[in-house]
Structure 1
């Protein structure tokens, strides 16, 4: 197969924030950061509050009590950002306050409301829908607050004692008040692979799989989590054998992308398949298909196959192969 280029940092892999970890503080109190003129961005269960083409930026007075605050860092203009991960009661409180504020502001009556990200009024949208619309700074903020917010929701108790933990270090640690043990956000590495077979005539084919939980026309690259004590390259070989009973060789790293749904880091690879003989595991993967470039383009155009978009590294890798004729 022809070597594929490294994946460019697009979509969720873009970066525009200095995480400024030295000024996070030693505990969960962000008073000094707030006092520096920091602004808030709001997250609730993977969705973000947006308005007027970007993240809605609030102030400290708009943050409901008892919510998880995370210092996200600063941009090139030295503006500091605090992510606020809302629980259900916190979101309800904020929504009510914003609605009351709009009701008092007669100027809203003169403004076209817009739709989605361009709405003049704050609305909640999922991160996946925003990934290619936000600028580098805001997509960095969004990935941080969604990823760390997910972790806070899932790790409120000490795994050692069962005691409720408390946020510390600017929201980047949870501390057990009884033992003093500290618990940090986790990231689960997963490999995702462009598998290519080249026949005797030099024609390349890519292998795509239909997950057992998906609609029958949806296909993507094969992927799986890295296991303890395993290299990334061995994870590629093992996962493809487990899901497709297909041997692959020469795994080549092509790039990565955060995938905070809830806490993954996707590590993109290519690999060569000497044979096109496979057997779907029927547990995770319902069906597998080989496609030439022409066959895949035709199937996508005819809408008989839904391939991943470039929001995800799966789509970026697949389109890189399609364009690498």
Structure 2
């Protein structure tokens, strides 16, 4: 496309992102069993539940903590997540606050809690022999492929069920169907499906006259002043992904970019995003924050960014997110790092 437009691209290309962090999966979603309902899943005799509450999951012994059918509280939203390579089935149990209280009581208050060591080492609790609650952002990299796939879908579906209990057509209470993958309006007869909001996230790069690359990072108004990341934004109705990249950079940084190139995607269930990663090129280092969403913008060469990170002058996303994957891929010279 860039050749057709007469544009010469100079940025060293990033390869497509490998399955990493929350993009990993080792689950067969098994659509065939969804129509049979949750009872049919339990009746296989090989089903367990994984539990989520407001972005957190219950973990123990290095992975998701599994509950039996009898241990799942009545207050939970139940949905079928799929099966693994060994034929085990997994049910997601999304909890409201009263459901979490029921789980904590069942496990005993001194076992299911936000453990003290997590204040200084978020990954410490995942190896506990007793179940503890952990935010998926903190433990996503530590979970194996199966568990990260289960946890990501668990949180995404939990968020949807908790916020879409009524029909947008009639206002009537909706009913779960298809093992939790559909909500039906009994009055209007309409079906409603889990929401996914596409958003673009982009590494904006300028190559100077010497051939050195500069990466543009921004600081969001809701973040600490030292936190910087890639620019990002939601795709608007009727808009292509490439157009969204160009528009968002113009809106947030006042700079024109070209040659958007797709590098990979990642679910980000906080609450319901699908992040679509791109690179884009800028012909100038002139940029200005919108002072609304973005309060500061900075260009970094690779040595400058490494030095700023090492000194603590700036903090950047970890590789649990696609932002971190793309950023560290660029920092490593254009090669996206392997999963960590």
TM-score range, shorter chain: over 0.9
1:85 to 74, 86, 94: 94
Match of 1:213 in 2: 222
Q: Deviations over 1:100-135 (max 9, x none)?
A: 898xxxxxxxxxxx9501111111111111110110
What is the match of residue 272 of structure 1? 281
Please give the per-residue CA displacement for 1:196-243, whole angstroms capped at 9, x wherever unaligned.
001111111000001111111110000000000000000000000000
Query: Which of 7, 10, 17 is equivalent to 2:20?
Result: 10
Q: Is the 8 A contact 2:75 2:98 kept in 1?
A: no
Q: Map 1:1-325 onto structure 2 (within 5 A).
A: 1-25=11-35, 29-37=37-45, 38-99=47-108, 115-324=124-333
Change (3 A) 1:286 1:179: same
Which runs of 5 or more residues in structure 1 are unaligned?
A: 103-113
SS at 1:307's partner residue? coil
In structure 2, the CA distance between the partners of 1:301 and 1:133, relative to structure 1 (3 Å rule), is: same
Contact kept? 1:197, 1:276, Cα under 8 Å? yes
Q: Give, in angstroms, the shift of residue 66 of structure 1.
A: 3.5
TM-score normalised by structure 1 residue count: 0.93
Which shows bigger deviation, 58-67 or 313-322?
Answer: 58-67
Over 3 Å off, 4+ runs: none
Secondary structure, aligned partner of 1:201: coil
Could you list the runs of 5+ residues in structure 2 that have no partner in the other structure? 1-10, 112-122, 335-340
CA RMSD between the two structures: 1.5
Q: Tell me if structure 2 keeps the 8 A contact 1:5–1:320.
A: no
CA separation of 1:305 and 1:101: change in aligned 2, threshold 3 A: closer
TM-score using structure 2 length: 0.89
